[in-house]
Amino acid sequence: MKILHTADWHLGKRLEQYERTEEHQDYLDWLILTLDEQHIDVLIIAGDIFDSGSPSNTALEQYYSFLRKVKDTCCREVIIIGGNHDSISTLNAPRILLKYFNVHIIGGVPEEFTEQIIPIQDPNGETALVICAVPFLRDKDIRLSIPGETAEERELRIKQGIYNHYNRFTEHITAYKAAGIPVIATGHLFAAGSSTSDSEKEIHVGNLGQVAGDLFPREFDYIALGHIHRPQMVNKLAHIRYSGSPIPLSFSESDNTKQVIILEFVKGKLLKIEEYEVPGTRKLIRIKGDLDTVITKLRKVTDPGFSYPAWVEIQLETDAYIPDLEEQLKEHSHDFIERLFIRQIKKHSAETLEQHTDEALQLTDLNPKEVFLKRCQAEFGEEDYSELLSTYEEVLEYMIQKED
């Protein structure tokens, strides 16, 4: 039996105001071909199918069109879990219908815990694989809020809640393991030690919710994770992996090789884990430095030879705002570069000679947490805002969850 693990599609994602629809469609078309070429039996999508809880009609059309095309391949089962970007109600709405086509959707933690346990049968009708399909675990799924608890207490309760959720599966999968049937778990979370990029939103609060590889029961033969966009193993454990996003979602991912993970089980044993490269269709390039350095690097950019023209982010370090910077840089650009995303970063001398503080000149360079912190500093000066930030982030997370 062969299983393909992918995650973090973020259909509907924009880079600033620019659509990524064509790149996503190229990936989905490639994935359909790969399912047949690699003789995939089971497809696992580990969360963040959409970039928004209210996906556009275009994103929804891409999603449903893909699921229809899967049924024309050799892939017999599809497992989809909800991520922190996904709306539980949007994902779950067609799940009863899609189940008739062997598409299993777990948008959020169901009322009946065992609904997350999905046996997969071989062509002979025998159970050959079990998947514990765990979606993104929201606070309400794993802990009860306690008034007045500290950030540290909340962190411990979240981690304990995640640990308890995964370990509840142990009693339900004992019989399968005794029969030599492999068990795969999914997850959409932030594992401690993971290497992130600019495009991930924080899960839980700051470092809250970080879990180590030993959190997961040893009964799981493989753990298919989503949320982190750089493909990687967790704590050097080969069987616990993030597949990463299929296309670069931010300029910080410009040098990442995108991939899916292909697993092969033979006689109940995990025989092979393959990192299968996803072909790129648009190159994202990041250039940093002062004006002379940026111009020099921009001139040296070579044509990546992808299907679509390159996009380049310029992070210019400057002492004063340059109003005609875009016009200056376009003079040194290439025909294969379609767009320049320009960030002017103003330098201020710090109180010591050892440091410089960079101040972003555009509000779009800041995330909501940074804007809130800057507002606090403007109103009250340099104070310790850790508790206030914790409260702010909890309210923000609650509002995001309320949208579902």
- C-alpha distances (whole Å) from 171 to each of 112, 162, 178 are 15, 16, 12
pLDDT at 59: 96
Q: Is the pLDDT of residue 116 over 50?
A: yes
Alpha-carbon Rg for the chain in angstroms: 23
| Entry pTM | 0.84
Looking at residue 366, what is its pLDDT? Answer: 60
| DSSP codes of every residue in 68-103 | HHHTTSS--EEEEE--SSS-HHHHHTTHHHHHTTTE
Selection from 143-147, 195-199, 267-271, 342-346 with the highest mean pLDDT = 267-271
List, for residues 270-297, the tens digit of each pLDDT value. Answer: 999 999 999 999 999 999 998 999 999 9
DSSP run (H or E) holding 348:
strand 337-349
- Model confidence at 399, pLDDT cuts 50, 70, 90, reads low
Q: Provide the pairing of β-strand 337-349 with 310-318.
A: parallel
The pLDDT of residue 206 is 41
Highest mean pLDDT among 64-73, 189-198, 341-350: 64-73
In 111-268, DSSP assigns E strands to 117-121, 127-132, 183-188, 222-226, 232-234, 237-242, 259-266
- For 177-188, the pLDDT digits (tens) are 999 999 999 999
Check whether 109 has a pLDDT greater than 90.
yes
Phi–psi pair at 312, nearest 5 degrees? -125, 130
